[in-house]
Amino acid sequence: MIQPLRMSLVAVTTAALLFTACKESGGAGTTSTTAAVTANAENPNQPIAKYNDVTITLKDVDAKIAPQLKQFEKQKMELRQQAAEQIALEALAKAEAAKVGQTDEQWVKAQLESKLPVPSDAEILKVFEENKARMPPGSTVESMREQIIGFLQKDKGREVAMKLFDELKAKANYQMLLEEPRVVVEAKGPARGPEGAKITIVEFSDFECPFCSKAEDSVNQVMEKYAGKVRLVFRHFPLSFHPHAPKAAEAAACAADQGKFWEMHKQLFANQKALSVDELKQHAAAVGLDKAKFDECLDTGKNKALVEADTKAGSDVGVTGTPAFFINGKLLSGALPASEFEKVIDAELKKGG
């Protein structure tokens, strides 16, 4: 009972995360922070293929698909974490069920049903009336009551189930010992928060990516909640399918040269549909930049190399989509709620004492 239920929740969560970031086409999806693997006992010089007199080695192949290999390693780690959690939950549920003379299936069902709110007659009637045309002929409120209740409780059921599982794990002091390796990401770029903060977040972002804009709410909440404890460093990662993103990144870097990166950052995210060169110059004027200096900076491509260096740095640590956040070297990918950042930050602060 526990395993299929838990797997369904994992599937729901995974599906949701797939739609929280801008991804490079052909990329591996959610990004990873683990090192590219050449396999435990494999020789990096092992021949893989040959053409004419040229031999392609395992090292050549792995270098070509490094981001995909990193993603594979991340997925393998996550599957192991999920399997460990399932093993623990199955055992814990059986133990709780045995205390009251029930099977684990009976116990879980009873726990969920007892915590699910019963929809009111008014709520049931509203759903019935709104969907009456799509129901079988002759349907009545009473004949459809159970189906409607199930529909109304569906989303709440996921929340209740997750809370039940969390309670089981907390009671048993469940700990995940398998952790994702940290990545060394240079915290180089415009920053918010104090130097020497216990938590450093390095963000790779794209001004034309709608998910990057959406993520700003979470970032601002985190910076406010952990004021003085978190330092945020912004790095550019314009995606290849966003035609205006590279020049927008340059524009932000030009603004940084005049000490107004964050003002331009806010302006660009607020105007993601207006990022042509002429419009970038208008945004620069709106935030009070020196027009002559900005225009020269943008027109000459002064900061193009900086943007390219940031992008390479992101690719080197496995970034294939935006936004990507490295919290003390641990990756969070996508426009996630602030609560997801808080979990990692709280754990890091706890370790730091």
Tokens 């050549």 correspond to: 60
Residue 21 has pLDDT above 80, yes or no: no
Q: Between residues 124 and 156, which one has the greater pLDDT?
A: 124
Residue 75 has pLDDT above 90, yes or no: no
Which of residues 117, 148, 181 is at a domain's end? Answer: 181
Best-predicted range by mean pLDDT (13-17, 232-236, 328-332): 232-236
Mean pLDDT, range 190-217, rounded to an integer: 96
Domain span at residue 232 reads 191-352
pLDDT of residue 55: 96
pLDDT at 201: 98
Read off the pLDDT of residues 319-351 as tens digits, 9 standing for 90 and up. 989 999 999 999 898 999 999 999 999 989 988
Looking at the structure, tell me whether residues 253 and 176 fall in a common domain: no
Q: Check if the beta carbon of residue 151 is closer than 8 Å to that of residue 128.
A: no
> What percent of the chain has pLDDT above 90?
66
Residue 69 Cα distances to 14, 49, 333, angstroms: 19, 19, 17
Domain membership flag for residue 186: no
Give domain status of residue 143, yes or no. Answer: yes
Q: Are residues 39 and 105 in the same domain?
A: yes
In angstroms, rounded to a whole number, what is the distance separating the alpha carbons of residues 269 and 214? 9
CATH of the domain at 297: 3.40.30.10
pTM score > 0.75 for this model? no
Please compute the mean of the pLDDT values over residues 236-249 and round it to a whole number.
97
Q: Which residues contact 235 (CB under 8 A, 6 or more apart)?
A: 188, 189, 202, 203, 204, 205, 310, 313, 314
Let me know whether 168 and 314 are in one domain. no
Mean pLDDT within 265-289: 97
Mark whether 239 and 145 lie in a shared domain.
no
pLDDT of 39 reads 41
How many structural domains compose the chain? 2
What distance in Å separates the CA atoms of residue 241 and residue 279, rounded to the nearest whole number?
19
Q: What is the per-residue pLDDT for 69?
A: 83
Same domain as 132, residue 200: no
Residues 6+ apart with CB under 8 A from 161: 5, 9, 112
